[in-house]
Structure 1
Amino acid sequence: MGRRKKILKLLLGVLIGFVASNFNTLTTFSEPPCASSQITPYRLIEEEDARASNKNLIFVGVMTAAKYLDTRAKAVYDTWGREVPGKVMFFSSEFSYSEHVPLVPLAGVDDSYPPQKKSFLMLKYMYEHYIDQYEWFVRADDDVYVRTDKLEELLRSVDSRKPWFIGQTGRGNNEEFGQLSLDNDENFCMGGPGVIMSRETLKSVAPFAEQCLHQLYTTHEDVELGRCVRRFAGISCTWSYEASDSIMQVILYHNQSGEAAFSGDLKQKEVHRAITLHPVKQPHSMYRLHKYLKGLKVQKHLQENLLLHRDIAISMQELGHRISSLDKAQIVPDLPLFPIRRGSPGYLGDTNTLGVPTSLNRYTPHRLEDVLEWEMISKNLYSHRDLNPRRRIGSSLKEGLGDVVREIMELVNSYSKQRGRVIDFKDILYGYWRVNPVYGVDLILDLLLVYRKYRGHKMTVQVRRHAYVQQTFSGIFIREVDYRPNTTQSLVSTESLPVHKQIVNQLFSKITEQLQPIFSYHNSSTETLINFILPLSGRFNIFKRFMNMYEQVCLTDRENTRLFIVLFKNEDSPEDHRLSSELVRGLTTRYPDSPIRVVLSNETFSRGKALQLGVNELSEESLMLFIDVDMVFDKQSLQRIRRNTVLNKQVYFPIVYSLYNPGLLNRSYLGADYSEFTPDIINEQSGFWRQFGFGIVSLYKSDYLSLGGFNLMISGWGYEDVTFFDNAVRSNLKIFRVADPGLIHVFHSVKCDSRLDLSQKSMCLGTKASTLGSVSRLQDIFLKYKDLFR
């Protein structure tokens, strides 16, 4: 008996060990090699259970691999994974472990591709553990983004008590067609964009998962899943068509760009219409996409808020209230309509602005100056407010129009499925727009559309429709942030220190304050040397002003600059030539170390030739600034020149501010001190930004040579800078343009020689006209002296 008891105990121990090991296998949870971490798979699963405790619509199983657990899988769980109206779990190979996602390591499964075993055993796990808790079950990859709110909206409109197998229908590509063992009426749901099963479908398929796994015809996981569903549930992937495109190809969207998918512009109709987006290969792209779609949600809520304010305003008007006084209105005595006042956390918004109904006439001007002008949009933008009335449509306006058109088409097609038609946008033929400073933007657009009817008598035809659009301003939102410097000193209260340490701290603070100017002294000699090249012919008074400025900005403050003056003899003003030479000699006498050189030329003046003579004096690694005697500059503009000019990479063409004719402004700049030209002078009446001026440029000599230099065959006024700019645009160098408030072009009269080439003469006359004065100033003069005009 004793021996028998020992044998029974031994058998019982073996049996318990066998059951325990198989229990671990069945539960499929494996301890990590090192379980000392505070966060374990069990902990994350419990957290996910708690999050999904009151949501029982969807269970999402995400297939991943061990090498992607801390990258792709984590990005999924940090973004849309936490917003599933149900539960999300990640399934990987047997010995996988992660501290970042709720993970189920599947026993006997590795990360080899194709993941057929992983897929079928994941479905079996869903069935065994959650079949009675959720209505829908989703098979997803770790490179798909799911818009959970739109997925919930779709699935709540479908009866989950019926067998459904929903996905993007596939039949195989051209090379595989006929080789996947599919009958003519058979298909499969493509795995990448996601596959959705109802509870009834999973009940029919999951018990036979291992049988399907042992009867594979191809190496494609999604093909075999579709075959299994067809065999045991008796259904195929959804066949549903909208015009010539499948609905599922729209809402379960697969981008053909591969690794680059969703890394560029996200303002695409495909992104806006989709429920799932695949593939998102890079984790940073997943976070970026999530942030963008969150922004769309915010816009949607703002629009809903706007519509509610309009409903409130209309309802209160029916009760005899004025919109302008709704913030004080009461529904009944002692019950205000808006109990929370402006500035409080729960403030609901200004109905006086948001509640005004849409109308192109809701803004009423009371003066001529208040009339809002319409600007025309065609292939170009036509505006009377610009000195160049016909110009290219800017990127901001183009992007805004794209947003408006996309929203219009979404609204137009919101009921297209029920009506059996779809309307696609093709082009904007023309339009008008204006900005209302109080209410928003008004648009009138003539749209070219394509109308497609796919029920009954099918047809496709182009149509034109006018769209009257208003984009309402929703107010300004200010968020105050309590800023505290993140320094050790700021975390320690000086009052808590002993008195002797407080005295030492105060003394040290005073000493530091006194020594700060010494330590922060700007050593200009370490800055990149800027070589000024200045062409000059006559014009002594203007040259005197320029040299006065150069002395105070560069010589007095020891800026690291050199000045090359290319001086031409002018037969019309020989005295100016002599005075200019004397002025330079006097300056070099006062500043014997000043690097100022004069390059003399007896040829006929040509700006291109003059600049070339200055370039010849420099080495190839020199930073050059081509400047005119009419220019005013400051120290900040020199710093921008150094920062914005990059050897072998970037050429800097600053946009300078050009002053109007002082005679029309009752001013005089001739011989004035350069200190007059401060940034305060920049306004609409004093001048304009010379967007199409390219004469002032900074670049390295080696880049100048690679661009071929100036066209020295050009004589007379201008044009050499335009051809040089064109060469730069066509090169591999980057062109950098920005408005520089430190570079001011002082007005001087322009003389256009009648012997100039036609294109040069046209440019000369255009420049002469543009520098007369502002449009409003010219209008005032015309109205005052209109009897003198023909």
Structure 2
Amino acid sequence: MPVSRPVFLTLLGTLLGLSLTYCVSSVARLQKQPSSSSSECSQLVEPRQRTGLILMGIMTAAKYVDTRAYNVWKTWAKHVPGKVLFFVAENTETIHPDLPLIRLKGVDDTYPPQKKSFAMVKWMAENYLDEFDWFLRADDDLYVRGEELEKFLRSLDSSRAHAIGQAGLGNSAEYGLLALGSTDNYCMGGPGVVMSKETLRLLSPHLESCLQHLLTTHEDVELGRCIRRHVGVACTWNYEMQKLFHNNQTAAKASLFFIYFSTALRAHRVALRTERSDVQQPTLVRIMPNSSRDLTPWDYINNNKILFCADRVNCPRHTVDLSIRTEMGDIVTQLFEEFNSNARQRGRVLQFQSLQYGYMRVEPRYGVDYVLDMILWFKKFRPPHRTTLSVRRHAYVQQVFAPLQALSERNMRSNLRRGSNFTGENAHLHMILPLKGRAEIFARFAGHLKNICARAGDISLVVVLYASEDERANRATIEELRQSFVRVEVIEMDDAPFSRGVALMKGAERVSADGLMFFTDVDMLFTCDALHRIRLNTILNAQVYFPIVFSEFSPESWSENDRLLADAFHYGRRRGYFRHFGYGLAALYKADLIAIGGFDTKIEGWGLEDVDLFEKAVKARLRIIRSPEPGLVHIYHPIHCPETMPQAQRHMCHGSKAASLASIDALVDQISHYT
């Protein structure tokens, strides 16, 4: 049966429409499928993005939500590197719809707000633990400098447990009544409590238990107790936190607190302005370093007596130089003159008591920076408030450089040599060597002396010889030296007990009054340049030379490269160190030795006689030259410290023995095997 043309066209259009619809839907489905797959993969691969550095939870009450809380929201909260939320009771309302309120279920405005505080911390842990690195518990009368807080927190590791704030132990009326242990404290709630992500993670499961076992009515004390018990960390103890988390107790009719990062305490009420001030606070930081190498290290001064330098691994601790003590005294005097310039009008005076500690660094382009921690007397002398208190304060001071002054080297040397019969590099050098036993070591010393003697100029050796089992071998070595045209003189000590001080004084007796002497040890090796510098650095009636020798560590701790070196005159950190604390080697004229009193001959055995001579030289009117001498190398040998030695000498012996065993690098290598 033939189909009419209209029917055929209708069927054909229907088929084409269905086919086109199927093709379009299939293409759309195929386009959506890769997108969905990609999204699922991205969710598996990409971690959840953090929304900021810190989440700040601010507790407030219904009567303050539209005043204090809203002022915070419109001012410093806008400049926080993270998020700010305001936690209120369940039924609290506000006239400001833009204020981000979190209404805590089952919580009211009862004071003290223990339940509110714990509920807020619990809420932050349950909702934002993985989105922020740091969490702040704060009150609504806090002021935060967001930029400075960000710098501080980014310098710390949030994956470690931290509880940061101003440590407290309670006021004078509550001290000892807060059930705190002897080493416990808590972060005061007023200036705020900063917790790391790790702290909050460990703390959150125990908050309900802590809330049910309160020992006091103070919520900050109980939060600190809970952190201490279940996280294992206490609030930061260091003194600087009193400045970083500052409790401003001088504000009238308000309890303003500041997270503050400066030395000058300039504070303003939040309500006074709605925009931040761009006034820069005074600072000692003038250059932003690009790497740790650009940092100028601070030297630590302990109680105005000992200075620890921090820029070198083997840098010694030593007594603060007279110049530094003098300058610090001038600084303290000037500071207190400025403090007390209007003391009469204010009715109070500050008096310096003592220096606890300090830091010092030299900025070559500016001057010397000091950070001084001082104990002061604060005295009020107007009735009826007369009182005297001992207070502790930090002073940040810069001492600028004076104008440059020049002094020619020629004039300086001529002043030193004035009245001195100076013979310079042509002076005959008498090397004085105490010797008892140690035949092999003496043979090495003699062989080295023979090799350099022809190039070293006019030298003679005075050996102060004690009887020993190696005496015959030592005498044979002395004869070999004499045959090589080295002038050797022997002083016999026979069976006398060994005393280095006595031996050196005996050797000095054989030298003329204007003779140049160099006190040495049998373990030393030296170069021609070292002997030349000994002559130049020693001036009759003017100057004494105490070289700082390079002392080898035990060869067992050397690196492979050090063991391949042929001679001893190499100065790697693994090979040895310059012995800053050693004064055994000295060069001076006999007349100067007699003038300062010579060695203490009552000291027997090893040690202390060199320190005694150095102290005598310091007290005399002689200039002391002390500098590292690369041409003098002390070869390592085992050190034995008999128990029969006097206590002071034995203590010094043990210290020298420990310092000479190995380098810091070798110690690190040993420890690394167990880590």
TM-score per shorter chain, which class?
Answer: 0.3 to 0.5
Provide the TM-score with structure 1 as the length reference: 0.40
TM-score by length of 2: 0.45
Q: Which has the higher helix share?
A: 1
